[in-house]
Structure 1
């Protein structure tokens, strides 16, 4: 398995430098085609007018969006042309998530930026939370301050769920290029640590059969720390440049309301994160 097509989702109202850099590196490492995608939709104001004034406003706003999409294409081509690989650009006047999800059929992996915990604008931004839930492809979330694809140390945040199993399989091409791989599980309060360790060890053995040496680890009790805080501590200990995790192993509603590992990884992590659902 490899990545033959890397898709990068660009945003009108966020910085795109980090995701372009990482997507370009990813495409270069795997000799993949890189596809840039962007979309936006005119958001009518809360108090709208009608007649000629309304049409004039719509025309101006749509022209502005088309200009900004054209500027994004220029930025995409400038960032990727020096790498010498194959590239494509796709854009539309559409809801960003809907457009990106439709284009995802041609990709092996999607690269996106992270986002703040605040509610995002569906007219201007394809939220990584929506992409990972619906794309059917792994999503690589790149924080704005990340400036390269650091695969020297990769942390696999394991939970014995379908989402984690899928993420691990989706990450195999990157794991093969990593120098160090650590698999960690943060146990629930009532879990038997020996059983948890046996499961993590089983996953390490599975990776070994794919030619990937990995260290199995079970997080120590966190003294009231959340699972996300414990995971971040382990990531710091091993110097992880990338975290691999299953997305929304619990219901998305529960994580949105109560917080959870996926919410943390999308909104707060200082590291790149590969997520699958």
Structure 2
């Protein structure tokens, strides 16, 4: 299993440069094509569209101002993405889509193997932002949410998996196989006094089948420790 198509959100803010660099690094790693997506407002706000007393000139002025703002945000975002992808020799596509709600971006995510987003997505011409968690819940596939700062392309050598015998955890592992197989160190963390001390034979076989036989299971049996604290503690050790 690998990722053949990767979607990355691109905007006019400085954090986009690092996110695009990370997306290009992953496209190289997985021999994938890259799609850049830019979010823009398209709907006329209700307070304008529904106000019978608004002058036509007021609506036209608003739309013209928003069009200018979108164009000013679009130009550097597209130039950043296309220049970086061209210089890297990565095949790419560019999309400008409706960002008034999460539906269009979610549909785009469903059409790619991996989606890369910031936690909050700015929409050109709109004050509100979209939330990556909403897209992740509806995408039906892996969504990698990168912080604004604090990482560098090439990440993924050491991976921590919060593991529990649930369908959500199993799905997350399936979605992450390409990362897990390529990582130098993979740690599965399970928390609880009744947790199994090791992988069963079927799990071992499945891990090995995905080039992840080097993974190890760590069990935290401290009943007084919060699960979130256990994950944060182990994160510092990875």
1:127 matched residue in structure 2? 131
Q: Give, in whole Å, the separation in 2 of the partners of 1:24 and 1:178.
A: 18
Gaps spanning 5+ residues in structure 2: where? none
Residues 183 and 204, structure 1, Cα contact 8 Å, conserved in 2? no
Q: Normalising to structure 1: TM-score of the pair?
A: 0.73
Q: Give, in whole Å, the separation in 1 of the partners of 2:170 and 2:134.
A: 20
Q: Which moved more, 1:1-10 or 1:65-74?
A: 65-74
Q: Give, in whole Å, the separation in 2 of the partners of 1:125 and 1:77.
A: 24
SS class of match (1:37): strand
Alignment of 1:169-208 (within 5 A): 169-187=174-192, 191-193=193-195, 196-198=196-198, 203-208=203-208
1:214 matched residue in structure 2? 215
**1:216/1:129 Cα in 2 relative to 1: closer, same or farther (>3 Å)?**
same
Q: Normalising to structure 2: TM-score of the pair?
A: 0.84
Residues 41 and 123, structure 2, Cα contact 8 Å, conserved in 1? no
Q: Are 2:146 and 1:142 equivalent residues in the alignment? A: yes
SS class of match (1:16): helix
Gaps spanning 5+ residues in structure 1: where? 239-277
Q: Give, in whole Å, the separation in 2 of the partners of 1:221 and 1:205.
A: 29
Q: Give, in whole Å, the separation in 1 of the partners of 2:69 and 2:90.
A: 31
Q: Give, in whole Å, the separation in 1 of the partners of 2:11 and 2:166.
A: 31
C-alpha displacement of 1:101: 1.3
Q: Are 2:69 and 1:68 equivalent residues in the alignment? A: no
RMSD in angstroms over aligned alpha carbons?
Answer: 2.8
Q: Give, in whole Å, the separation in 1 of the partners of 2:130 and 2:80.
A: 18
Q: Give, in whole Å, the separation in 2 of the partners of 1:73 and 1:62.
A: 16
Residues 176 and 211, structure 1, Cα contact 8 Å, conserved in 2? yes
**1:172/1:131 Cα in 2 relative to 1: closer, same or farther (>3 Å)?**
same
For residues 113-167 of structure 1, give each alpha carbon's deviation from its aligned partner in whole angstroms, at most 9, with x where no partner exists: 1249xxx889453421111100112001111221223222111111211111111
C-alpha displacement of 1:75: 1.4
1:157 matched residue in structure 2? 162
C-alpha displacement of 1:42: 5.8
C-alpha displacement of 1:17: 2.1
C-alpha displacement of 1:79: 2.4
Runs of 4+ in 1 over 4 A off after TM superposition: 42-49, 120-124, 198-202
Residues 11 and 125, structure 1, Cα contact 8 Å, conserved in 2? no
Aligned length: 229
**1:140/1:131 Cα in 2 relative to 1: closer, same or farther (>3 Å)?**
same
1:35 matched residue in structure 2? 35
Q: Give, in whole Å, the separation in 2 of the partners of 1:22 and 1:141.
A: 11
Q: Give, in whole Å, the separation in 2 of the partners of 1:200 and 1:55.
A: 66
Q: Give, in whole Å, the separation in 1 of the partners of 2:141 and 2:162.
A: 18
Residues 11 and 74, structure 2, Cα contact 8 Å, conserved in 1? no
